[in-house]
Amino acid sequence: MRYAIVTETYPPEINGVALTVQGLEQGLRGRGHEVTLVRPRQATESADTPGAEHEFIVRGAPLPRYPGLRFGLPSTRKLIAQWRISRPDAIYVATEGPLGWSALRAARRLGIPASTGFHTRFDEYMRDYGAAFLAQTALRWMRRFHNGADATLVPTRELQQFLQSNGFNDVALLPRAVDTTQFDPARRDNALRAQWGVGDDGLVAIHVGRIAPEKNLDLAVRAFRELKKTHPDARFVWVGDGPARTKLQQDNPDFIFCGIQRDERLAEHFASGDVFVFPSHSETFGNVTLEAMASGVPTVAFDYGAAREHLRNDVHGAAIANGDDDGFVRAVVRIGADRVLRAAMSRAGREAVRGLRPEQVAADFDALLQELADRAAQARLLASKPQADGEIA
């Protein structure tokens, strides 16, 4: 089969969407399919930098308030011309930006079946950035975008039900996975912990992700400050970067900021923590929850997304009811203070995600795209058949 994946973000950019899309692309290639990646030129690439052989590069522009990230400019005509030359059997559109809209328009024009991925709760972002009055507008905008496709893929049953109840059509479940060979408790690095000023028996709270307002980071700070009252030698390690880092670092000079980490180094940072503090309200999934569990790090998160699907309260960490900030703080303090409990949660969390194999996600994704391609082919076949005398069209 020949597929196309359209995305406005892709590694080396580091965010949940980019890494998820890369995993889906590699999974399809591993199953023997031809995959073209459509993306904007990235900030690190000059105008004459050629893309890889399997990439179709379009023009991009900087994304406001997100340094280093870009969005693709409208490219409907270019995509139509490209797909007439090399027609995909189906496409997957990962992002709702101008490039994503262009891809859906081009696919409709050419009769190519299209799926979309619902990766970002922009309606929640409106609240996080002080524009709650735009939340319903954002939801309507997303509904219009995704209903322009033949299927919308989501990672959790909770999100599937939410979208269906808000008028989104053809919402299909595509669960996520985690690479348990990369994220492994065995990658715990005492030398790294020593750099943080922590011994084998010390306590490290860790946060991994974009350091941005929508991540609800003030609650993470509050929880750690409470933990530090009983464990004054505890350290808070932050892995990642983002627009809120400078102020967070200025306000909390005792915090340790490690910047963006990738691959094995990211896995070492994860496994070297003792409790993962994840206070976000706006994730559609939260891949880092699975990565923390696979790394054997007890996780405190709100009960939605990946936590709702996989994190069992008081077994793998704490899944806190949405809105219960005080409960979140208490859970961080309780788990952080109990070494025996953390050890039990570490083993249980690792075991819980052991079966979430990326290969199965690739197979499920492949099956969804093939179903769309088969339905489109059947529709074309029926349309091409001459009607019998008296048959009503």
- What is the tens place of the pLDDT at every residue in 2-44? 999 999 999 988 888 899 999 999 999 999 999 999 999 887 7
pLDDT band at 61 (very low <50, low <70, confident <90, very high): confident
Residue 199 CA to residue 126 CA, distance in Å, equals: 42
For 331, how many CA atoms within 13 A lie in the half-sphere containing its CB?
Answer: 28
State in Å, rounded, how far the first CA of the chain is from the last one: 31
| Residue type, position 54, single letter | H
- C-alpha closest to that of 230 among 206, 250, 205, 207: 205
Query: For residue range 328-385, what is the model confidence (pLDDT) as tens digits?
Result: 999 999 999 999 999 999 999 999 999 899 999 999 999 999 999 999 888 888 877 7
The tokens describing 235, both together, are 């350290």
The tokens describing 276, both together, are 């993962």
* Chain region(s) in the chain for CATH 3.40.50.2000: 2-177+357-384, 185-352
Instruction: Give the chain's mean pLDDT.
Output: 91
pTM for the model stands at 0.84
pLDDT band at 120 (very low <50, low <70, confident <90, very high): confident
- In the numeric block, the tokens 């059509």 are attached to 169
Q: Architecture of 185-352 per CATH?
A: 3-Layer(aba) Sandwich (3.40)
Question: At residue 392, does pLDDT exceed 90?
Answer: no
pLDDT value, residue 393? 43
Residue 352 CA to residue 345 CA, distance in Å, equals: 10
pLDDT band at 134 (very low <50, low <70, confident <90, very high): confident
pLDDT value, residue 42? 84
Biggest CA–CA distance in the chain, Å, is: 86
What mean pLDDT do residues 205-230 have? Answer: 95
What is the per-residue burial (b if ≥16 Cβ within 10 Å, else e) of 239-258? bbbbebbeebeeeeeebbbb
What is each CA distance from 328 to 52, 220, 299, 309, 319, in whole angstroms?
Answer: 45, 9, 11, 18, 8
pLDDT value, residue 283? 79
**What element of type H or E holds 91?**
strand 90-93
Query: For residue range 307-331, what is the model confidence (pLDDT) as tens digits?
Result: 999 999 999 999 999 889 999 999 9
Domain 2-177+357-384 -> CATH class = alpha beta
Q: How many beta carbons lie within 10 A of that of residue 198, not counting itself?
A: 21
